[in-house]
């Protein structure tokens, strides 16, 4: 118990120290302090550039020293070649909030509600951290959590008139039609990949698709051992199709001589 308390105190002290160091080395650097700390650089600039630097502005063709005085150290540096000559590009990142009728960017549901890439994995990690160990129960709860997150976000976006309806209807129609895809439709996709009819697509043997939502689950894998394709469509919650696909793959491997 004493060891755990000491470790927690040490970690908190370390975090505070790192934050303080970051503030000291980065947070105190402003246009004014850079000018006052390096007057010899500032004095070499033309009167026009001096005025721009004082205002925190830059112009095309301005020297690196002037840009550094105005904006500080860049977030990134990229090197390359232009017209046969080496060039270095300084990249500065600036984050601003969207002008929207709600107080946060993309509403109060930034990740999961507005953008959901990987939200299932995040939910699984959260459930594991809470002590769950049954992956099937975790998958069911993950899907339901995703539905609640997206449902609440959708209601919020509709209520705040944040949806561009023409584009949204096209996307909705595509999603609905995709839900009615059959195994034969997916087989046509694999055959088109094998025939090279889809430009810039990977080989069919490298394609695997799995996904679902409450009451809908699908798996597709092409060119397995023995030249088999596995396509499973289920009107059940995930991971019903994944379990059947796994069983089929094991049966295919077991049937080989």
242 and 219 together in one domain: yes
Helices (H) and strands (E) in the chain, counts: 10, 5
Confidence at residue 97, expressed as pLDDT on a 0 to 100 scale:
43
118 and 58 together in one domain: no
Confidence at residue 100, expressed as pLDDT on a 0 to 100 scale:
45
- Show Cβ contacts of residue 66 under 8 Å, excluding neighbours closer than 6 positions: 45, 49, 52, 53, 58
Give domain status of residue 4, yes or no. no
Give domain status of residue 225, yes or no. yes
Q: Determine phi and psi for 208, rounding to 5 degrees.
A: -145, 130
Chain-centre distance for alpha carbon 109:
15
Give domain status of residue 175, yes or no. no
DSSP β-bridge partners for residue 186: none
103 and 87 together in one domain: no
Confidence at residue 149, expressed as pLDDT on a 0 to 100 scale:
86
Q: What is the largest CA-CA distance in the chain?
A: 84
99 and 137 together in one domain: yes
191 and 249 together in one domain: yes
Give domain status of residue 168, yes or no. no
200 and 247 together in one domain: yes
Global pTM value: 0.38
- How many domains would you assign to the chain? 3
Confidence at residue 114, expressed as pLDDT on a 0 to 100 scale:
64
Confidence at residue 43, expressed as pLDDT on a 0 to 100 scale:
93
63 and 105 together in one domain: no
Confidence at residue 28, expressed as pLDDT on a 0 to 100 scale:
54
Confidence at residue 21, expressed as pLDDT on a 0 to 100 scale:
41
148: part of which helix (H) or strand (E)? helix 135-159
75 and 18 together in one domain: yes
134 and 199 together in one domain: no
Domain termination residue (choose one: 91, 122, 146): 91
**Residue 115 DSSP symbol:** B
Could you state, in chain order, the average pLDDT of each consecutive group of 10 residues for the chain (257 residues)?
A: 39 40 50 92 93 92 91 82 80 57 45 68 86 87 86 87 89 78 85 82 68 78 82 85 88 65
Q: Label residues 113-122 b or e (16+ Cβ within 10 Å = b).
A: bbeeeebbeb
213 and 247 together in one domain: yes
Domain termination residue (choose one: 57, 91, 125): 91
Confidence at residue 84, expressed as pLDDT on a 0 to 100 scale:
78
Give domain status of residue 5, yes or no. no
Domain that holds residue 140: 95-163
């Amino acid at each position: 118990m004493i060891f755990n308390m000491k470790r927690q105190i040490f970690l908190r002290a370390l975090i505070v120290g790192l934050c303080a160091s970051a503030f000291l080395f980065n947070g105190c650097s402003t246009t004014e302090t850079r000018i006052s700390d390096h007057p010899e650089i500032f004095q070499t600039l033309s009167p026009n550039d001096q005025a721009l630097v004082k205002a925190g502005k830059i112009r095309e063709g301005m020297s690196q020293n002037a840009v550094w005085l105005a904006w500080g150290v860049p977030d990134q540096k990229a090197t390359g070649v232009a017209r046969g000559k080496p060039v270095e590009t300084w990249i500065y990142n600036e984050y601003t909030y969207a002008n929207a009728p709600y107080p946060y960017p993309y509403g109060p549901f930034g990740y999961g509600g507005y953008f959901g890439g990987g939200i299932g994995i995040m939910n699984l990690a959260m459930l594991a951290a809470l002590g769950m160990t049954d992956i099937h129960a975790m998958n069911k709860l993950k899907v339901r959590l995703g539905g609640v997150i997206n449902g609440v976000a959708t209601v919020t976006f509709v209520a705040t008139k944040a949806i561009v309806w023409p584009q949204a209807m096209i996307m909705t129609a595509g999603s609905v039609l995709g839900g009615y895809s059959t195994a034969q439709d997916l087989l046509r996709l694999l055959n088109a990949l094998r025939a090279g009819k889809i430009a810039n697509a990977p080989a069919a043997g490298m394609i695997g698709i799995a996904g679902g939502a409450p009451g809908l689950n699908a798996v597709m894998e092409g060119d397995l051992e023995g030249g088999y394709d596995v396509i499973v469509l289920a009107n059940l919650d995930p991971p019903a199709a994944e379990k059947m696909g796994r069983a089929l793959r094991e049966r295919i491997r077991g049937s080989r001589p």
